[in-house]
Structure 1
Amino acid sequence: MRIKSFIILTAAFGILSLFGAGGAFAAPCASSNIRWANSSNTVYISGGVACSLGDIKSLGSKYIPLTLVDSANKVWFLGANIILQNGAVLTLYGDEAGGDVNELRLKSNNNSLSDYVRISGSWGNIDIRNTKITSWDEAVAGPDTDYSNGRAHINVRSFLASDGSTPLESRMDIKDSEVGYLGFYKAESYGLSWKVATKKLSVFDQVGVYGDVINNKIHDNFFGIYAYGGQGMNFTGNEVYDNIWYGMDPHDDSDYLVIDNNYVHHNGKHGIICSKRCDNITVVNNISSYNEGVGIFIHRLVNDSLIENNEAYYNADAGIALFDSYNNRISDNISKFNKIGLRLSVGSSNNIVENNELSQNLQYGIFTFKGTDTPLGSADGIVKSNTFKNNIMSKNVNAGIRFKEGNFNLFENNTIDNSYYSIYTHDTSENIFIKNTVFDNVRNYYFERVDSQNMVKDTPGFSFKLYDSLSDMMVVNSQNRLLWNSKGLATDFVSGESSVYVNKTKAGSSVVNVSETNLIINPSSGQLSAVRSVWNLTGDFRKKWTEKVIVSPPAADHVVGDLNPGSSYRALANGVLLGTYSANLNGEISFTYASYGSAGTQVIFEVKQ
């Protein structure tokens, strides 16, 4: 129901915007639509009309404290609240939009807890174009910079009618404007707010609040932008900065939003945060920097969303963070000079993290952990089943990847360099690392600690170290290559896979080095193990290895490499000639051996000229 309503409303507002936001079909403003309540210092505008400040001044009560303080520059001072009801529209247009207000000053005197005004749409619309809006402290003849006593603000709210089913919806659009010094810490009073007035989750499927915020400067508010239950909103091309708390904060059940090409910086908490059941969010092409929290924060059941082509710099916390969020794509972002490049926590799972640069951060390129918060979308809070692919993590101070309390994740084709640790795992299991490139780190190896049991697969050469007896490492090759290692451990072979299992007893306290040998052993069934004893890469190119039968195979195919192309080689098994072969252009020969005995039998193979 909600998606259908969203499509219909988007189409409807798209048509209306061709003629003037919110009011293409609205009637002209009339005095009968404007009511002045002196007792509450409030102007009520009601019905399907569109009114400007000039309309209110000319058609409303002469006692309304609305003053054109500079007629040449179209500067207005509003000393009363304005509440829009029953579909009414307030148009605040500057010269370039054909309007009568280039600047609107909202009374916000700091000498009292309640001496401020608000503009509110309660089943009403506000349309702001090509103008400037600010709070105004009459004592200082300037903006109200102290929010502690309350401060002027603007908001719209949607709700269900008394019948419990009819949506009474509001909209606020802001375009090509500057809005600053609004709001304080109180619900719907944060500065610029869009809200569905409910605490029942089911109501969000029946009613939404709407609006687009495009090409504005929004600054020094309590929150730069706040939405609660927003649907299909578009935040594009804005500069959002110096706000007390968050820069941009789409909150509960705000879905199908687009946050594109904004510059969000120097805010007191997170730059961009999407929090609590916000689905199908698109966050692209933004720069979020110098914020006192996270640059881009995906928080609490924000699912099925795209975070792409953003830049996050110099944020006090992570550049990008996922908290209890699922099925998102984080791709082609740059996150540098933050505390952490990318953080996943509190059960965040089934996300794709691909083609990002997460470098030069004060702690880690990627950091995962369970956390102490109770997850809403995960049973255990473990970070699991995420894919990290083709990311670059360079020059992070502590580690390229600090992977804690995460299971069943895939790391493939990532590059980690010039950090202290390359990959540091802590209490993790059944994660797979494939073809990652690790170089020039102080500890240039996989470091497994505190009950970590993981797999490195199809990686030509790497090193690892096991810290404790509860940790182990499985090394796997899907081409059935022999895996040489510095501990002399045998490689196990089954059809389609070779592997070496290493626990603390086998590894000892030293670093274990592993490399692929150009020897493929692929049994048709059963199981073999093998160790190499001679593997000359020059001179006579002699090769020698021993295979042991674990479960007897009918036969095993062999490919022996690192030979001189075009030269002839004899292959022997236990000294018996199997045949003479000419090495191909890749320096390889191939043969099949089919005379394995019972379990425990050993066969010594040799290839020589």
Structure 2
Amino acid sequence: MRGRAVRVLAAALLLFAALTGCGRDATPFTPREVPAPVVIDPANPCPRQADLSAELAAQGPQAPAPPTPVAARYDRAAGTVTVTAGTGFGPAALAAAVRDPGVLREVSPGNWLLGANLVLSAGTAMRIAAPEVRWFGLSSEPGRYVTLSVLGGRLDVAGSCVTSWDEAAGRADTDHLDGRAYVLARDRAQLSVDHAEVRFLGYGAVESYGLSLRTAGTTGTITRSVVSHLYFGVYTYEVDGFTVADSEFHDNIIYGIDPHTGSRNMVIERNVVHDNGKHGIILAEDCVDSVIRGNVVYRNAHHGIVLYQRSDRNVIEDNETFLNVAHGINLNESHHNLVRNNRVYHNGESGIGVGQTSAANVVERNVVLSNGRDGVRLVSEAGDNTVRANALGNNARYGIYVDTQGRFDIHGNSIFGSRVGVLIKSDGSEPEEPEGNDLFDNREGDVVSR
């Protein structure tokens, strides 16, 4: 890896010298050191809780509103506790209201285990917060698990750790195939997770993904937290205004961050998203008017950052995305998006892919280096896309690969050190060659039509 990094750095120095004429500042670019994978022991699933709690405390005294009395009813046959009144309360107040240690009990100071489904109804609000609560476990074992559902109410997690827990095995539940405990917020609920750990939750059924927010009017924030080993790190559906910031998402089974189906006006920024089982960050199915900014996205098992199926009018900027198995950034059937000022390198296939009818997107001022195939791909009926003022260096195959009958505008780019600078697939007619680019040191030609 060290030799490869040296080659990338050398390319970067050439790159920024070439970019001076494009108006870019000649700022040195150094590839990020690649951290080792994070290993979490399911028997000790909260290694960061004390540090996160201390960081929260260092911000000064928290001043939540005074709690109000809790009212709850327990349906023993359904195994469900429904909170009908109360705000600002914690597990101790809820346990006192229910009076059944099989439902909720403190297993050791500051550590609580939920043994029945818990529903927070509209108008209620629960706090799982340090220093009173270090860990909140949701019982989850083969053939049986509990859920925490916020149905119009509010849940705040601050400085604490929330996980599944198999009491007989003495560890978090690592098997998602037979069902697993999860947290769900919907029906105009509010969910806040700050300086917290959330681990080992969820499985592959609707509403059961681990940490999910659903339906119009539901919203929330995840800030300065760690989310790992969920089915999806976080999932949203028809949510407006959700924020995910300054957090780490790793080793989730499918996606790290997954806004979905009609979610909009989201801010996803300054997160570290790595080692997830498919994409790192994906906006899918009509996710619009959102910002993905300043994230570090690496070593995910498919793409790093994805816009999919009518995820339009979004901005992807100032991210660093590298060592993903396929593309660093991928746009698929999505339109009018801006991809700018990203650093995209060492991805297994291509740096930035624009395909499947994606139209009217702008890819500009990105640094795209040493990817396993192409720097930028315009394919599969993608049309009216603009690629301008990028630095595309030392990509293994083509700096820019064009295989689409749609129109394209390629100008102002520095393209160097690839097998071919720009490769344009042709249907037999003579394609219009891009002009106004700085092409050099491409081994088999600067612009080639085939």
Q: What TM-score comes out, normalization by structure 1 length?
A: 0.62
Partner of 2:99: 61
Q: CA deviation at 1:47?
A: 3.7
Summarize the alignment of residues 156-235 of structure 1 with structure 2, pairs less than 5 Å apart: 156-158=185-187, 169-196=188-215, 207-235=216-244
**Could you say which structure has the greater relative contact order, defined with CA pairs below 8 angstroms and 6 or more residues apart?**
2
Across the two proteins, how many residue pairs are aligned to each other? 386
Judge conservation of contact 1:297–1:321 (CA < 8 Å) in 2: yes
Instruction: For residue 96 of structure 2, give the secondary structure of its aligned residue in structure 1.
Output: helix
Rounded to whole Å, the distance in 2 between the matches of 1:29 and 1:274 is: 40
Pairing 1:272–2:273 present: no
- Code of the residue aligned with 1:79 in structure 2: it is G
Rounded to whole Å, the distance in 2 between the matches of 1:407 and 1:65 is: 60
Partner of 2:53: none
Partner of 2:145: 116
Instruction: For residue 313 of structure 2, give the secondary structure of its aligned residue in structure 1.
Output: coil
Partner of 1:452: none
Which is greater in Rg?
Answer: 1
- Code of the residue aligned with 1:139 in structure 2: it is A
Rounded to whole Å, the distance in 1 between the matches of 2:432 and 2:189 is: 48
Partner of 1:42: 80
Q: CA deviation at 1:408?
A: 2.0
Summarize the alignment of residues 500-515 of structure 1 with structure 2, pairs less than 5 Å apart: none
Partner of 2:447: 446
Partner of 1:104: 136
Structure with more strand by fraction: 1
Q: CA deviation at 1:390?
A: 0.8
Rounded to whole Å, the distance in 2 between the matches of 1:171 and 1:143 is: 26
Pairing 1:367–2:382 present: no
Pairing 1:134–2:163 present: yes
Question: Deviation digits for residues 284-321 of structure 1, max 9, x if unmatched?
Answer: 00011000011000111111111000011110110001
Give 5+ residue unaligned stretches, structure 1: 1-17, 159-168, 197-206, 371-381, 450-609
- Code of the residue aligned with 1:105 in structure 2: it is G
Q: CA deviation at 1:51?
A: 2.6
Pairing 1:413–2:432 present: no
Runs of 4+ in 1 over 2 A off after TM superposition: 47-51, 61-65, 427-432
Pairing 1:423–2:422 present: yes
Give 5+ residue unaligned stretches, structure 2: 1-61
Rounded to whole Å, the distance in 2 between the matches of 1:334 and 1:94 is: 38
Rounded to whole Å, the distance in 1 between the matches of 2:86 and 2:117 is: 19
Rounded to whole Å, the distance in 2 between the matches of 1:217 and 1:318 is: 24
Pairing 1:398–2:397 present: yes
Rounded to whole Å, the distance in 2 between the matches of 1:251 and 1:431 is: 38
Q: Which residue of 318, 341, 346 maps to 2:356?
A: 346
Partner of 2:435: 434
C-alpha change, 1:76 and 1:411, in structure 2 (3 Å) is: same
Question: Deviation digits for residues 57-81 of structure 1, max 9, x if unmatched?
Answer: 112233542111111xx01111111
Judge conservation of contact 2:118–2:149 (CA < 8 Å) in 1: yes
Judge conservation of contact 1:42–1:82 (CA < 8 Å) in 2: yes
Question: Deviation digits for residues 186-224 of structure 1, max 9, x if unmatched?
Answer: 11110100011xxxxxxxxxx321000000010011111
Judge conservation of contact 2:292–2:317 (CA < 8 Å) in 1: yes
Judge conservation of contact 1:181–1:219 (CA < 8 Å) in 2: yes
Rounded to whole Å, the distance in 2 between the matches of 1:432 and 1:258 is: 38
Rounded to whole Å, the distance in 2 between the matches of 1:182 and 1:59 is: 26
Instruction: For residue 246 of structure 1, give the secondary structure of its aligned residue in structure 2.
Output: coil
Instruction: For residue 145 of structure 2, give the secondary structure of its aligned residue in structure 1.
Output: coil
Pairing 1:241–2:250 present: yes
Question: Deviation digits for residues 515-539 of structure 1, max 9, x if unmatched?
Answer: xxxxxxxxxxxxxxxxxxxxxxxxx
Rounded to whole Å, the distance in 2 between the matches of 1:406 and 1:366 is: 16
Q: CA deviation at 1:398?
A: 1.0
Question: Deviation digits for residues 143-195 of structure 1, max 9, x if unmatched?
Answer: 1111111111101112xxxxxxxxxx111110000010000001111010001
Partner of 1:150: 179
C-alpha change, 1:105 and 1:431, in structure 2 (3 Å) is: farther
Judge conservation of contact 2:424–2:431 (CA < 8 Å) in 1: no
Q: CA deviation at 1:406?
A: 4.2
Judge conservation of contact 1:299–1:322 (CA < 8 Å) in 2: yes
Partner of 1:386: 385
Rounded to whole Å, the distance in 1 between the matches of 2:341 and 2:290 is: 16
- Aligned identity (percent) is 29
